[in-house]
Amino acid sequence: MNLTNFIRRFRPSRATRHGERGVAAVEFALALPVWMTLLLGISDGAYMMLVDQRVDRVAYSVTDIVTQSQTVSRTDLDSILLAAGQLMQPFTFGTRGIVIITSLYKPAGQPTKISWQYTGGGSLSRGSKIGQLGATPTMPSNLTLNDNENVIVAEVYYSFTPMFINAGILSSGDVYRVAVYKPRLSPLITPPA
């Protein structure tokens, strides 16, 4: 038997090749939904990670800037919170986010109190998880203050909506971050004027 006859003997017929194409088409049709779900899930997961990173950056940057001041005014805080929207770029912050800055102070021999609180940077309606002015604060991450100690807490809320909401991979909800810094130059316990 020569090589040509051997190849003809084992070469698949035209009907067999068409059958294999049909099997490949069915396998592709079965695998396509799985691959699309993975693609959408990866896309939404990456989008969520970027939003989470930006919200984290806003919380730490706002707190860091506020704690570098000797005194703060409402104008200063408005300018700082305007920067929050810039830090969130390319994501919009105005209607989807809010920053709440709180000054916590522990007078000697007394419980910790909220000295002042300022909200801005966006129009999202959320309340502080630390507490309201005049109420006993809920300390973030089991934070305890010593006598005459002051910290600035920034809470950032961002209303997250996945790009592919109909796919059901991730659900909508708030991304929430807290940053706590100690003032560097002077205690910031006087309410901004």
Q: If you average pLDDT over residues 175-186, what whole number do you get?
A: 89
pLDDT at 163: 78
Angle at 19 between CA 13 and CA 25, to 5 degrees: 140
What is the residue-averaged pLDDT of the chain?
83
User: Is the pLDDT at 172 greater than 90, yes or no?
Assistant: no
User: Is the pLDDT at 64 greater than 70, yes or no?
Assistant: yes
Angle at 117 between CA 91 and CA 189, to 5 degrees: 125
Instruction: Give me 117's structure tokens.
Output: 């609180």
- In this prediction the pTM is 0.78
Q: pLDDT band at 178, cuts 50/70/90?
A: very high
User: Is the pLDDT at 158 greater than 70, yes or no?
Assistant: yes
d(CA 81, CA 98): 9
d(CA 114, CA 130): 9
- Residue 48 contacts by C-beta under 8 Å, 6 or more apart in sequence? 160, 162, 170
Q: If you average pLDDT over residues 80-103, what whole number do you get?
A: 88
d(CA 90, CA 139): 32
pLDDT tens for 123-151 read 888 888 888 887 788 888 778 888 888 99
User: Is the pLDDT at 81 greater than 60, yes or no?
Assistant: yes
pLDDT at 47: 85
Q: Provide the CA 172 distance to its chain's centre, in angstroms.
A: 12
Task: Spell out the alpha helix ranges (H) of the chain.
Answer: 3-10, 14-67, 74-87
Count of CB atoms situated within 10 Å of the CB of 109: 7
DSSP 181: E
Tell which wins on pLDDT, 173 or 59. Answer: 59
Q: pLDDT band at 193, cuts 50/70/90?
A: confident
User: Is the pLDDT at 25 greater than 90, yes or no?
Assistant: no
